[in-house]
Amino acid sequence: MASPTSGGEREKLVSKLPASLRQTLKVRAAQLGTDVQDAVTYGIHAWRAHPEALPSIDTAGAESFGTWLPEGLYDEFRQDCAARGISYIQGLAQSVALWLQQNPASDEAPPARRIVVCNQKGGVGKTAVAAGLAQALAEDPHALPGKTNDAASIAQAAARVGLRVLLVDYDPQGHLSHQLGLKAIPAGSESLITHMLNREQTRTALIDLTVVIEEKRFGDRLRILPAAFDAFLLDSGLTMFRGPRHAALERALSPIEEHFDVIVIDSPPSLGLAMDAAIYYGRRRNEEKPGASGLVVPVEAEDTSAQAYGMLINQVQSLATDYDIEVDQLGLVVNKYDSRRGYIATSSLDKWKSLGTPPVLAVIGDLKEQRESVRLQRALLAYAPDSDQAHHMREIARRLT
């Protein structure tokens, strides 16, 4: 049956929905200027693409509910519900609840999420993952390459990809800044480091030190806080710091969190005090839902990477115990994978996957587009938006939203 609305063929969905959920959907859609039929469509696509089972919703007393879906989606949705062993009334309720969760009203906007990309082992691709993840989160959903009507692409839009993102180059080596064509902030100038150690003496707001990544597909949503030359002295500076050293990064960044939806930290390859501050910054805050903020750990499919991961987790557990905090491990990214390296690579990958928690978010090959984008000092998703590596970055973003 065709929808009376414009914009392509649609079919009538007739189901049931709890009255409270239906009312919240109607109000939220009006607040956000979205048609109810589009909200339900996005919700169903997000539900179909969701990697894990969603909590059951009490549908007792559900009342008749009708809307319009793109042609063919209703049948596919009911088939998915049957495959998951739930009624399509339950599936619809979960889809609507998922859309509401991913699209809060303006007065319910959650605090900025903090994603700390870390591993004390160098050369595992922390910078590439941090940059690619931030780009995927900031990317305009309408700029996605290839088909835009597949479940994963529409789920990305439903998950509010197109966010305001801050990339923080927290590594004193400054690779992230260099790869995006920026110079590190000179020693002695105001920077993230001075705001961490001597905020009372700073005159420039930290937001004014951030730089927009000028690529059309990101709009003005993606900014970077460049590295500072004197970041090498951060650990020694924190040793003499009079305040709570573990909270120094949060102390510096909290004034600018309101300007961003997500803050991605490219961490140094160390287990020092600076890393303590980064891990603490990524902890789960009071009333923050599990998995909203935390650690993403790039690794390689080889033994030394596993050893380094074990050392990082020991540091995380020690901090969690010392400060009575919870730090969520959002996932692992197995980077620069090449099965041609034989048993060491394939067996290591199997071990990473067998952990289960944290999950492996993506397995990324050693791809030339990343190296080319670095040489040209351009963002990967702008230089090669349809490359395998770009799609992997979008996959990571989707699984974290």
* Residue 59: other Cβ atoms inside 10 A: 17
Antiparallel, parallel or unpaired: β 329-337 and 294-299: parallel
- pLDDT for the residue 203: 87
Residue 224 in tokens: 């970077």
C-alpha distances out from residue 292 to 99, 137, 163, 175, 263, Å: 16, 14, 14, 27, 11
pTM above 0.85, yes or no: no
Concatenating the DSSP letter of every residue in 372-394 gives HHHHHT--HHHH-TTSHHHHHHH
**CB 113 within 8 Å of CB 293:** yes
Taking 50 as the threshold, does the pLDDT of residue 389 lie above it? yes
- pLDDT for the residue 244: 83
How much is the average pLDDT of 363-377?
90
Q: Which of 234, 222, 143, 138 is nearest to 187 (CA)?
A: 234
The overall average pLDDT reported for the chain is 87
DSSP letter, residue 241:
-
How much is the average pLDDT of 284-302?
90
3-state SS, residue 48:
helix
Non-local (6+) Cβ contacts of 120 within 8 A are 269, 270, 271, 275, 308, 311, 312, 315
Give the whole-angstrom CA distance, residue 246 versus residue 238: 9
Residue 261 belongs to what H/E stretch?
Answer: none
Q: Which domains are present in the chain?
A: 10-105 (1.10.1220), 110-400 (3.40.50.300)
**CB 381 within 8 Å of CB 217:** yes
pLDDT bracket for residue 59 (50, 70, 90): confident
C-alpha distances out from residue 215 to 158, 169, 237, 381, Å: 22, 19, 36, 10
pLDDT bracket for residue 20 (50, 70, 90): confident
Give the whole-angstrom CA distance, residue 210 versus residue 193: 13
Taking 60 as the threshold, does the pLDDT of residue 7 lie above it? no
- pLDDT for the residue 124: 86
* Residue 98: other Cβ atoms inside 10 A: 21
Taking 90 as the threshold, does the pLDDT of residue 307 lie above it? no
Antiparallel, parallel or unpaired: β 329-337 and 165-169: unpaired
Taking 60 as the threshold, does the pLDDT of residue 65 lie above it? yes
The pLDDT > 70 percentage for the chain reads 92
Q: Which of 101-105, 252-256, 267-271, 389-393 has the lowest mean pLDDT?
A: 101-105
- pLDDT for the residue 107: 62
How much is the average pLDDT of 70-96?
93
- pLDDT for the residue 157: 47
- In the beta sheet, which residues pair with residue 211? 224
**CB 294 within 8 Å of CB 163:** no
Handedness of CA 281, 286, 292, 295 (dihedral sign): positive
- pLDDT for the residue 196: 92
Antiparallel, parallel or unpaired: β 360-365 and 222-225: unpaired
Per-residue pLDDT tens digits for 107-151 = 656 679 999 999 988 888 899 999 999 999 999 876 666 544 455
